[in-house]
Amino acid sequence: MRHTNRQGSTKTLADLYRNLDRQHAVTITYLAPGETEPTIRTIEVHEIRTTKNGGIVIVAMCRLRGEERQFHLSGIQTYTLHRIGYDLDRPAPTKYERPAPAPADSAEALFFYELARDQDDADHTPRTLIQTDAALAA
């Protein structure tokens, strides 16, 4: 069991990304915002996102609830990395409407256009990066 208050968030994120890549479950002790008692959850991490205000959110299937949940990194108090594989099926992503061709009238419109370009043309699902694409992100 690793305590997040004894290590930096970089180490915690590296461990979570490693288990996501290997598709191994993680057990967390999580304190939700506004709650006083933490809960223990075993999760299957599918995505790690950042919020508009710079927070980090873990999108995972919760084995307790059997559905997709979001957990804030700041709420994770302890975690244990497992070698057990994923059991739950993740729900299909919702369909996204592609915007009109490259607008030049505002920065926001250009941002959403570029975001939509990351969608595959065939089925409008987000492009999955493979290990050889990692150099593109650097």
Q: pTM of the full predicted structure?
A: 0.64
The residue type of 41 is R
Model confidence pLDDT, tens digit, residues 1-47: 888 888 888 899 999 999 999 999 999 999 998 899 999 999 999 99
3-class SS letters over the chain: CEEHHHCCHHHHHHHHHHHHHHCEEEEEEECCCCCCCCEEEEEEEEEEEECCCCCEEEEEEECCCCEEEEEEHHHEEEEEEEEEECCCCCCCCCCCCCCCCCCCCCHHHHHHHHHHHCECCCCCCECCCCHHHHHHHC
Residue 121 CB-half CA count within 13 A: 0
Q: Do 78 and 100 fall within a single domain?
A: no
Could you give the CA distance from residue 28 to residue 19 in angstroms, rounded to a whole number?
13
Model confidence pLDDT, tens digit, residues 97-107: 655 565 567 77
Whether 114 maps to a domain, the answer reads yes
Q: Do 78 and 11 fall within a single domain?
A: yes
How many domains would you assign to the chain? 2
Q: Do 26 and 73 fall within a single domain?
A: yes
Whether 137 maps to a domain, the answer reads no
Q: Do 12 and 71 fall within a single domain?
A: yes
- Domain extent for 105: 92-126
CATH number of residue 65's parent domain: 2.30.30
With contact defined as beta carbons under 8 Å apart, do 61 and 47 qualify?
no
Query: pLDDT-based confidence at 134, cuts 50/70/90?
Result: very low
What is the structure's pLDDT at 45? 94
Q: Name the region of 56 (left: φ>0; alpha: ψ -120 to 50; beta: rest).
A: beta
Could you give the CA distance from residue 81 to residue 20 in angstroms, rounded to a whole number?
10
